[in-house]
Chains A and B, each alone.
Chain A
Amino acid sequence: MSDAPFVARDRAWHPPALSPAYRTSVSRSPRHAPISFPQTLSETTGPVFGHDLPGPRDNDLIHNFAAPGAAAIGPRIIVHGRVTEETGRPVPGALLEVWQANAGGRYRHRKEGYIAPLDPNFGGCGRVITDADGAYHLRTVQPGAYPWPNGGNDWRPAHIHFSVFGSGFGQRLITQMYFEGDPLIWRCPILQAIPSEAAVKTLIATLDMRASVPMDCLAYRFDIVLRGRRQTLFENRMEGG
């Protein structure tokens, strides 16, 4: 495993801390500029989770909280893709943890008050570790859109939350995956806090008929990109030679 420093993060590509249309950010955004310093082992290393961590059904949200013989209600989908660094290099062994609302738009959480019903066979979370090629796949139900207290009538587009552990703590990332064709994407203050339309589009999973299973489920493709590491001269020569 490389301990080479990460390439500087392009903070202008990410949503700014203070995004007033997303009201909670107003009191939770630091006002000082973050301070940079040359990365140390504290940033270039990070926890590594083994392939034995996830259980056999951890990447199957249709069944991982369901009673024996039962399944979650909703449109059945596969979500798959690859995790790479900005250099295009795959990130094997990355831990992805996901969570989402059920097909009606309701989370299984004690503070959640939306009137849509809970699904007794759906927990709404799972996890998977990327293979040697950086690839992963999950099976779940398509989450519903849900209303949230922000403006007078704000609705989150259907989304799946992704937490990603790459190969160093400085790469740590949490983001959200959206679905191609959802008109709520362009009305969401959280998503619209991202400055560029090009950046927003990288969070929209595309329908992937090739990976769908006839008479079973549709598939969506969602690739994730983590910060790259600076290559040392030695590594360049290894790859170039």
Chain B
Amino acid sequence: MSGAADRPADLKESPSQTAGPYVHIGCLPNHAGLGGPWAEDLGARPFADDAPGTRVVVTGCLLDGTGTPLRDAMVEIWQADAAGRYAGGGAAGFARRASDAETGLWRLETIKPGAVPGPDGRIQAPHLTLWIVARGINLGLHTRMYFPDETAANAADPVLGRIEQTARARTLVAEARGDGVYHFDIHLQGEKETVFFDV
């Protein structure tokens, strides 16, 4: 067996394995009640309190094929700032949330991202990128959340435009609940199955 240093530079990605039922121990130890050495879980606050932009609240649930909420999942969010810029070499715009152990709900206070440059000079509509792991999910799921009050930008978005079945594109648009609150349910299966991406 050869070590990493003398292997040819044509390796295969390490195969994914499920995050299992206890992902919160490793990734959200304070949430998991471990009472460990860390003051705050990683991704607790996506932006500094004084970051410019419109404050929004995003809530959501992950639902399995029977419509049951997942209560052991972890959702990671990666987003641009209000000007449509991603943190250059920092973690601003990153958040991590756990599904509530009783209700399955997660909740994120953030700022609304700006439009982000896309391929070929096109502009992407404001969106959050989400990555979902849980027991029973063998490879983390990538998806996006778009805003319902961005009708024109969403219609011109190059990624939403890739979805041939336009009815399915609607699974990526959150529901406005007023006062800057958006709700985004993710369906892993069934008639309302959310669009997931092979990025």
Q: Which B residues touch A206, using CB under 8 A?
A: 1
The reply to whether A15 and B138 contact each other, CB–CB distance below 8 Å, is yes
Beyond A15-B139, A17-B139, 5 additional contacts (C-beta under 8 Å) are A29-B188, A37-B199, A48-B90, A173-B140, A226-B13
**B4 contacts A by Cβ under 8 Å:** yes
With A64-B37, A110-B33 known as contacts, the answer to whether A40 contacts B119 (CB < 8 A) is: yes
A32/B193 in contact, CB under 8 A: yes
| Cβ of B195 under 8 Å from chain A | yes
Whose C-beta in chain B lies nearest to the C-beta of A48? Answer: B89
B13 pairs with A161, CB closer than 8 A = no
**Complex-state Cα separation, A86 to B9, whole angstroms:** 7
Among B16-24, B52-60, B147-155, B175-183, the stretch in contact with A: B16-24
Chain A residues with CB under 8 Å of B17's CB are 15, 161, 174-176, 190-191, 194, 203
Q: Give every chain A residue within 8 A of B90 (Cβ-Cβ).
A: 47-48
What are 29 residue pairs bridging A and B, where the CB atoms are less than 8 Å apart in the complex?
Answer: A11-B139, A15-B15, A26-B136, A27-B66, A27-B189, A28-B137, A32-B193, A34-B142, A34-B197, A35-B162, A35-B198, A37-B197, A40-B117, A41-B117, A42-B80, A48-B89, A48-B90, A49-B91, A109-B24, A110-B101, A111-B72, A124-B25, A125-B25, A161-B20, A163-B19, A174-B133, A175-B15, A191-B17, A221-B3
CB proximity of B84 to chain A, nearest CB, Å: 9
Nearest-CB distance from B127 to chain A (Å)?
7
Which A-chain residue is minimally distant from B34 (CB atoms)?
Answer: A123
Q: Bound state CA distance, A224 and B19, in angstroms?
A: 16
Chain B contact residues, CB within 8 Å of chain A:
1, 3-4, 7-27, 29, 32-34, 36-38, 42-43, 64-66, 68, 70, 72, 76, 78, 80, 86-87, 89-94, 101, 116-119, 124, 127, 129, 131, 133-142, 144, 158-159, 162-163, 168, 188-189, 193-199
A15–B117 CA distance with the chains assembled, in angstroms: 33
Cα(A229)–Cα(B195), bound, Å = 25
Minimum-distance CB pairs A-B, first 3: A99-B26, A88-B9, A24-B136
Q: Let me know if B11 and A225 touch, CB within 8 A.
A: yes
The chain A residues found within 8 Å of chain B, CB to CB, are 1, 6, 8-11, 13-17, 19, 22, 24-43, 45-49, 53, 55, 57-58, 64-65, 81-82, 84-89, 97-99, 107-112, 123-125, 161, 163-164, 169-170, 172-176, 190-191, 193-194, 199-200, 202-203, 206, 221, 223-227
Cα(A136)–Cα(B55), bound, Å: 38
Given contacts A28-B136, A37-B159, A99-B22, are A225 and B12 in contact (CB under 8 A)? yes
Q: Assess whether A28 is in contact with B34, with CB atoms less than 8 Å apart.
A: no
Main secondary structure on chain B at its contact with chain A? loop
CB nearest neighbor in A for B169: A35
How far, in Å, is B80 (CB) from chain A's closest CB? 8
The 8 Å CB contact of B12, one of A22, A64, A176, A202, is A202
CB nearest to B117 among chain A residues: A41
Residues in B whose Cβ lies below 8 Å from that of A46: 78, 94
Look across to chain B and name the residue whose beta carbon is closest to the beta carbon of A16: B138
In the complex the two chains form, is B188's CB within 8 Å of A43's CB?
no
Q: State whether A9 touches B198 (Cβ < 8 A).
A: yes
